[in-house]
Amino acid sequence: MPEDIRRRRFLMSVARHAGLIAVAVGFLAPFVFVVLTALMTQSQAVTPSFWPRPFRWSNFTEVFDRIPLLAYAWNTTQIAVGSTIGVLVSCIPVAYALSRMRWRGRQLAFLLILATLMLPFQVTIVPLYIIWVRLGQIGHLTPLILPSFLGDAFSIFLLRQFFLTIPEELSDAARVDGASEFQIMTRVIVPLAKPAIAAVALFNFLYNWNDLFAPLLFVGTNQKLWTLTIALSEFTQRHGTEWNLTMAAAILFMLPVIVLFFLAQRVFVEGVTLTGVKG
């Protein structure tokens, strides 16, 4: 290969690497800074220095002292796990009905469900809040968990798209063997749809774990039932200038999510592309 072409290829490769790394640094820098700040003393956190001196690992334990983090984590877990179970229990049958069964009005039902995706949640939130007030459930976790058992449009949509890719012959074979629809759903379709179901479970878990608006609305008044997100927002109010502690709290909050992400990485990327945006 001629010398100058080889040299050009090498320079292009260097340029590409440089570009990729530069962008990566941009993405990682906030994380790095947050971690470093979380390890500083309070006085040092507000100075422009970059490296903690000394390393105050105790900041992390101090966060636990300042706010009942474990209690909040438990609340958040209850909500996230409960909602995810609710979504799975309700959306799988609906998606199944929309994709694997034939009945009149099937298309219309699907369109209606899709339409609700476009509805800003603010439109329904006011009457929903009032309903829960009348039921006396404001300040409890119920309004945050129960509605999941009634379905979620995005999850139904994603599951339906995936179920449609499973060949009809498999269902037919099961029907010939005398299986009921419910059995087909649980024994044939669900095992085959595990990636999509995993993606739905993860999306919902994360969404509920991170949500601020709904928990703020329904349990904002009952401090014992606060979620981690609410606690984090409030943290700056109580301990405003203690940025080191705030960053420590932020990290503690992010940690489970990031760990979960690394464990389930592939599922995420597949799940997002499963929404089938290819036109």
Partner 1 sequence: MSPWIVGFLLLIVYPMISSLYFSFTKYTLLSPPTWIGLENYRLLFTRDPRFWLAIRNTVWIIAVGVPLRIAFGIFTAWLLTLPQRGSRAYRTLYFLPSMAPPAAAALAFVVVFNPGFGPVNQILRGFGWHNPPLWFYGPGSSKWGLVLLGLWGVGDAMIIFLAGLLDVPRQLYEAADIEGATGWQKFRHVTLPMISPVIFFSLVIGVIYGFQLFTQAYVTSLAVSGTSITEAAQNLGSPQGSMLFFSVFLFDQGFQGFRMGYAAALAWVLFAITMVCTVAIIRGSRRFVHYQGGGFR
Compare residues 11 and 131 and give the one whose CB is closer to partner 1: 131
Tell me the two tokens of residue 23: 């962008």
Tell me the two tokens of residue 117: 């995706």
φ, ψ of residue 49 in degrees (nearest 5): -75, 150
Compare residues 71 and 206 and give the one whose CB is closer to partner 1: 206
**Min separation Cβ 77 and partner 1, Å:** 14
Compare residues 71 and 260 and give the one whose CB is closer to partner 1: 260
Compare residues 176 and 237 and give the one whose CB is closer to partner 1: 237
Tell me the two tokens of residue 142: 């119920």
**Min separation Cβ 35 and partner 1, Å:** 10
Compare residues 193 and 247 and give the one whose CB is closer to partner 1: 247
How far, in Å, CA of 275 to CA of 268, rounded? 12
**Min separation Cβ 46 and partner 1, Å:** 5
Tell me the two tokens of residue 106: 């099937």
Residue with tokens 């995005």: 154
How far, in Å, CA of 146 to CA of 135, rounded? 13
Chain centroid to Cα 215, Å, comes to 15
**Min separation Cβ 241 and partner 1, Å:** 8
Quote the Cα angle for 4-6-9, to 5°. Answer: 110
**Min separation Cβ 170 and partner 1, Å:** 19
